[in-house]
Chains A and B, each alone.
Chain A
Amino acid sequence: MTLVSPVRAGTETATAPPPGRRAARRAAGLAASLGVLLVVAAASVAIGAKPITLGEVWHGLAHYSGSDTDVVVRDVRVPRTVLGLLVGAALGLAGAVIQALTRNPLADPGLLGLNAGASAAVVSAISFLGVTSLTGYVWFAFLGTAVASVLVYALGGSRGATPVRLALAGTAVYAALYGYVNAVELLDTAALDKMRFWTVGSLASANMTVVKQVAPFLVVGAVLALALGRSLNAVALGDDTARALGTRLGRTRLLAMAAVTLLCGAATAACGPIAFVGLMVPHVVRALTGPDLRWTLPYAAVLSPVLLLAADVIGRVVSRPSELQAGVVTTLIGGPVFIYLVRRRRMAQL
């Protein structure tokens, strides 16, 4: 069943007000969202264990003098914020694409067991291959995500996906892989020590090397996702209609899965599994823009980093002087939203 409501999409375009004005309104909304994003990004640089004024931020960026404040700005806060921007955008885009592709409003990279794939690969890398750097994790996280995404999609979604089936396929993959992750962690205490910090998903260990490492993949994935908006719109109308409209379904699905794998794999590699951003933001966005993916995707790309950076900032503030990891904060916000969605929609027989 499609809760993304393709029917409404059709009628809306039919009875829409002059397209020019709609587009202008949506563009204005996008600009406003960008403004919010800037504010949150500035807050993310300024707020933390050491409060920094915006003037000092500017000084650190423009006239680097090597003072403590400048070092904090350049080497800690800015990389962290940039990574938050990139990863947030990636998670939002991936969530929107997965939900459109599976016509499933509850699809989310974390829920679908993709993160479990990344975890399994990373724990293997740590324990068996002695990989210890974030730079090294990236490839393994990619591989794990790719394998898990193929597996879950084949099991739960290849034809006539229902939300329950996908969620269960994700749970099953998650269970099987986490059994393995547990086993490795129990046998290898050093791996447990690394994994327990990686697993919660945090921006805290961000640095410019990591940013440079994952940025190319995130950018390619994002471009791919944004370019797929039109085809995914057609997919939302149902396989037959999409085919009749000239969409090449197989190619679209493949490209979409590739985009999701690139985005999730890189995001997870950079800061560990962060759940629920990809689930929540597309819902908020659809409430703002309607179901047209050509708008949903850019909005998701802008608003998701807002959520992630805000969660990160909240995590820095609530338990000073230590931090609550961004992944924990997003899940604690996202869980109730998920349950609310399950309760509100007529989920019966989804």
Chain B
Amino acid sequence: MNASVHESKSGTAPLAPVRGATLRTRGGLSLRVDVRAALVGLALAVVALGMSVVLIGTGDFSMAPGDVVRTLFGGGTTIQDYIVNELRLPRVLVGLLVGASLGLAGALFQSVSRNPLGSPDVVGFGQGSAAGALTVIVLFQGGPNEVAAGAVAGGLLTGLGVYALAWRKGVHGYRLVLVGIGASAMLSAVNGYLLTKADLVDASRAMVWLTGSLGGRDWGQVVPLACVCAVVLPLVLGHARELRMLEMGDDSAYALGVRVERTRLVMVLGAVVLTAAATSAAGPVAFVALVAPQLARRLTRATGPNLLPAALMGAALLITADWAAQRLFGADQLPVGVVTGVLGGCYLLGLLLTERRAGRI
């Protein structure tokens, strides 16, 4: 982001510009970034890109990072060019975009619900999209595009349903979580049933999809996802200031001139669209949305929603998890969602313990 920012909290001035792909700030918009957050963001971006290069070099045809970079800039042999630019680059780009979308969506969700556990996973979005995808796979034998559409539809419907059911003169954070748990349990029963109805080949295919995978992704997935990010990212980041004020409570935000309902609506819609796009590209990759914003916040130690660091953290996490999955289990043996799922569960346990020690839940 060539953003324009120049006031640091500590007063120690100017900062390394924060890196990112798509943000354009025109029209005199200014963002505040403190030094630490900027440095953390930079470091995360470096990690994400570095791991991307390593990941491109990983596989049956392994390449040194130097070769990968040279090939990316058009200097490789024909074989290298094909493997890097046609086979592996799209996969890595999908990983980066999905990770960033999920991280950002998680940060938005947690900020809006003022709940560190608010994430699309917890409110049933994951199981809902799984149910949609399974329906398409098992009942209609659909191809990848139909599966993606079914997943998005299922996830959106579930999200809406949970939100509506949790609504009683406003949505209380914990009620939302509990209704989400109930809905997830029901949907997972439906999913289990659908799996028993499938033949074994479909069932394995469904399992891979359900876990969340980057395997076999090509430019066809990159382009729509990139378009969504290009639209939603600036929109959401442009509202970051309002979101930050919203965290002080609706009344204070009103008093400070924030259009509360509009901001909240934009943020929730943005989060849902990002999650849906990410799910349609890679399946419901577990827990990135929950964990990335939390880790980002711990690193930046900044108040507020930490949107950009969360997105960068998401990208770095997902790429690293994919690399770990390939290294640990061999190329394309296990999808990335297995690694994020196990790590995420452990992280949730840790979070529970610290929150409990702090007496917050």
**Docked pose: A343 CA to B182 CA in angstroms:** 11
Q: Which residues of A contact B239 (CB under 8 A)?
A: none
- Which residues of A, 316-350, contact B by the 8 Å Cβ criterion? 324-325, 327-328, 331-332, 334-336, 338-339, 342-343, 347-350
Q: How large is the interface on B (under 10, 10 to 19, 20 to 34, 35 or more residues)?
A: 35 or more
- Is A199 interfacial (CB 8 A cutoff)? yes
Determine, out of B3-11, B61-69, B229-237, B332-340, the stretch whose residues face the partner at the interface: B332-340
- Is B106 interfacial (CB 8 A cutoff)? no
Q: Determine whether the beta carbon of A331 is less than 8 Å from that of B189.
A: yes
- Which residues of B, 305-361, contact A by the 8 Å Cβ criterion? 329, 333-335, 337-338, 341-346, 348-349, 352-353, 356, 361
Q: Determine whether the beta carbon of A182 is less than 8 Å from that of B349.
A: no
Candidates A156, A186, A347; contact of B175 at CB < 8 Å: A347
**Docked pose: A111 CA to B178 CA in angstroms:** 11
Knowing A180-B342, A186-B334, the reply to whether A168 touches B361 (Cβ < 8 A) is yes
Query: Can you list, as one digit per residue, whether each of A158-194 has a CB less than 8 Å from chain B (1) or not (0)?
Result: 0000111101110111111111101101110100110
Q: Determine whether the beta carbon of A193 is less than 8 Å from that of B203.
A: yes
- Which residues of A, 289-338, contact B by the 8 Å Cβ criterion? 324-325, 327-328, 331-332, 334-336, 338
Q: Determine whether the beta carbon of B352 is less than 8 Å from that of A156.
A: yes
Q: Determine whether the beta carbon of A347 is less than 8 Å from that of B165.
A: no
Q: Determine whether the beta carbon of B193 is less than 8 Å from that of A155.
A: no
**Docked pose: A200 CA to B338 CA in angstroms:** 21
Determine, out of B86-94, B204-212, B266-274, the stretch whose residues face the partner at the interface: B204-212
Q: How large is the interface on A (under 10, 10 to 19, 20 to 34, 35 or more residues)?
A: 35 or more
**Docked pose: A156 CA to B355 CA in angstroms:** 11
- Is A197 interfacial (CB 8 A cutoff)? yes
Q: Determine whether the beta carbon of A167 is less than 8 Å from that of B192.
A: no
- Is A110 interfacial (CB 8 A cutoff)? yes
The residue of chain A having its C-beta at the shortest distance from the C-beta of B344 within the complex is A175
The residue of chain A having its C-beta at the shortest distance from the C-beta of B338 within the complex is A183
In the assembled complex, the CB of B285 is this many whole angstroms from the nearest CB of chain A, namely 12
Q: Determine whether the beta carbon of A347 is less than 8 Å from that of B174.
A: yes
**Docked pose: A165 CA to B178 CA in angstroms:** 11
Q: Determine whether the beta carbon of A171 is less than 8 Å from that of B181.
A: yes
Q: Determine whether the beta carbon of A164 is less than 8 Å from that of B192.
A: no
Q: Determine whether the beta carbon of A343 is less than 8 Å from that of B179.
A: yes
The residue of chain A having its C-beta at the shortest distance from the C-beta of B195 within the complex is A196
The residue of chain B having its C-beta at the shortest distance from the C-beta of A158 within the complex is B356
Q: Determine whether the beta carbon of B185 is less than 8 Å from that of A175.
A: no
Q: Determine whether the beta carbon of A165 is less than 8 Å from that of B356.
A: yes
- Which residues of A, 55-107, contact B by the 8 Å Cβ criterion? 106
- Is B117 interfacial (CB 8 A cutoff)? yes
Q: Determine whether the beta carbon of B203 is less than 8 Å from that of A196.
A: yes
Would you list 6 pairs from A and B whose C-beta atoms are within 8 A, ordered by A residue?
A186-B204, A186-B208, A189-B200, A192-B207, A324-B193, A331-B185
* The 6 A-B residue pairs with the shortest CB-CB distance in the complex, in nearest-first order: A176-B345, A179-B341, A335-B186, A175-B345, A331-B189, A179-B342
Interface residues in chain B, defined as those with a beta carbon under 8 Å from any beta carbon in chain A? 117, 122, 165-166, 168, 172, 174-175, 177-179, 181-183, 185-186, 189-190, 192-193, 195-196, 200, 203-204, 207-208, 210-211, 286-287, 329, 333-335, 337-338, 341-346, 348-349, 352-353, 356, 361
